[in-house]
Structures are given as C-alpha cells and as structure tokens.
Amino acid sequence: MAADRIEPADRGATTIADRVVAKIAARAAREALGSLPEGGDPPRASVLVRRDSARVHVTLDLGYPSDIGAQCGAVRGRVSRRVRQLAGMTVPEVAVRVERLLTPYDRNDQGGRDGRGRGLR
C-alpha cells in the first residue's frame, strides 16, 4: 500500500483568491476598531497576493478626537495576524488610509454637510 501513497508535494496546492484575503483583512480591521464611529463606513481592503505573501491596503473611517496612530497600529497588527492565521500568508505590508475623521458635530448634525460630504477629510 505504501506505493499507492501520494506524497504531499505531489497532491496539489490550495489557492486562496485575492478577494477572500481582502475580506479577511477588512473583517480584521473592523475587529481591531471595536466599533465604527456613528455614520462611518465599514473598513475596506484591497490586496496584492504574490505566492504566499499578501500586501494589504485598508481604508477606514475613524472617530475624532481619538488616538489615530494607536488605532492605525492596532489595525495593522490585527490584519497582519489574522491574514497569517486564516490564509497562511506572510504580510510584509499593511498600509492604512484614513478616509474620514468623524467629529461629534458630524455625528449629531447630519444636515451640516458641505459639498465634500460629511466628516473631516
């Protein structure tokens, strides 16, 4: 029976689609933030996958005032860990782009929008 056994390297490979890795990254960013600022959009992610490595770009909204650097650092760490855990990929880069800073004024007065939309840009 040993002759019928196929070696692991000859069995094939599992491929994880880029969009799946992007969904993992977006979910991990959401987890890192805890809760979204009122009126904020959920984090979005795009990825560039090469072999077993993923470069991740996350776009998100944050509440203001807050410790923006700490929040972005938490997102980078969480995204890197979760992509490594769930997709088995190394993550050499997680770039975080803050799309909007939502102030209490923005949250309380949705009618106070300027031509660029709500929030600080």
Q: Which two tokens stand for residue 64?
A: 């203001």
Residue 115's pLDDT is 42
User: Does residue 42 have a cis bond before it (omega within 30 degrees)?
Assistant: no
Range of lowest pLDDT (78-82, 85-89, 95-99, 107-111): 107-111
What is the Cα–Cα distance from 56 to 33, expressed in whole angstroms? 17
pLDDT: which is higher, 9 or 94: 94
Residue 3 has pLDDT above 70, yes or no: no
What's the pLDDT tens digit per position in 30-78? 999 998 998 999 999 999 999 899 999 999 999 999 999 999 999 999 9
Q: What pLDDT does 12 receive? A: 76
pTM of the model: 0.78
pLDDT band at residue 116 using 50, 70 and 90 as cut-offs = very low
In this prediction, residue 10 carries a pLDDT of 77
Domains along the chain with CATH numbers: 13-104 (3.30.300.20)
- Crossing angle between the packed helical segments 68-87 and 18-33, to the nearest 10 degrees: 140
User: Residue 81 is which amino acid?
Assistant: R
| pLDDT at res. 5 | 83
